[in-house]
Structure 1
Amino acid sequence: MVPVQLELPVTPLRHPDPQSAGASIQDRFEAFHQLNPWILSKLEALTADCIDSGLKRVGIGMLFEVLRWQYGRATSGDPWRLNNDYRSRYVRLLLEMHPEWSALFETRGLRTA
């Protein structure tokens, strides 16, 4: 098994317009995801690597921290920010793409929109 090598985009992480701060979490997530579609691809690759390594449960928190660590090692300058509010949204996207992964992740009902 070869570990996943994170191929980072040349452009820095992009954030939506700060004026959208009053928008719902879902609206902010959708804007962020549209600007940074590669994050979902990297989370998907990390999840697949976990499966290949034999893990039966995967936490999105762990995947976020691995992504932060890998990106932080490869970049300099402004701190790299990945909003924890988006974790549950990314899990749901991963499960839409890979319903066979439903036993890997624990999901709960969304409390806010």
Structure 2
Amino acid sequence: MTHLAQPLPGLDDIAPLVAPANVPGQSIQAQFEAFHHLNPWVLRHLESLTRDAIAKGFTRIGIGMLFELLRYRYGEATRGDEFRLNNNYRSRYVRLIVDRHPEWSGLFELRALRAA
């Protein structure tokens, strides 16, 4: 018998993503802020995934890994709703996570932002 990983707590609060209005010429930062405002649970789950990785002994964590795990878990929790988590938001989410949890700053590599 194989051991299956237990789902992370709070999977029940995953909701269908709400896409913000598309505003031509809007900066990535403004797009991210609108997306985050409409989908606050995404940050909570990224933080939960980070806590889980720390508990498992990770000393370095890639935001790309967390995004893919969240996409997978979203697929487990919802039916028929494509998960559209924009990769342009990765750097913004990692900065938000580190701002909220400065003790995690050494876990993530922060690169210069390409566009505001």
Q: TM-score, normalised by structure 1?
A: 0.90
Identity %: 59
Q: How many equivalent residue pairs?
A: 111
Q: Which residue of 2 aligns with 1:112?
A: 115
Letter in 1 for 2:103: E
Contact 1:72 1:80 in 2 (8 A): yes
Runs (4+) off by over 2 Å: 2-6, 8-11
Q: Which runs of 5+ in 2 are unaligned?
A: 1-5
The change in CA–CA distance for 1:55 and 1:3 in structure 2 (over 3 A counts) is farther
Deviations 1:60-92 (A, max 9, x none): 000000000010122122311100000000000
- Structure 1 residue 85 corresponds to structure 2 residue 88: yes
Match of 1:55 among 53, 58, 73: 58
Of 63-72 and 5-14, more deviation after overlay is shown by 5-14
Per the TM alignment, residue 101 of structure 1 is displaced from its structure 2 partner at its CA by 0.7
CA RMSD in angstroms, aligned pairs only = 1.6
Q: Which residue of 2 aligns with 1:9?
A: 13
1:3 CA drift (Å) = 5.8
Moved more, 8-17 or 94-103: 8-17
Question: In 2, distance between residues paired with 1:48 and 1:22?
Answer: 36
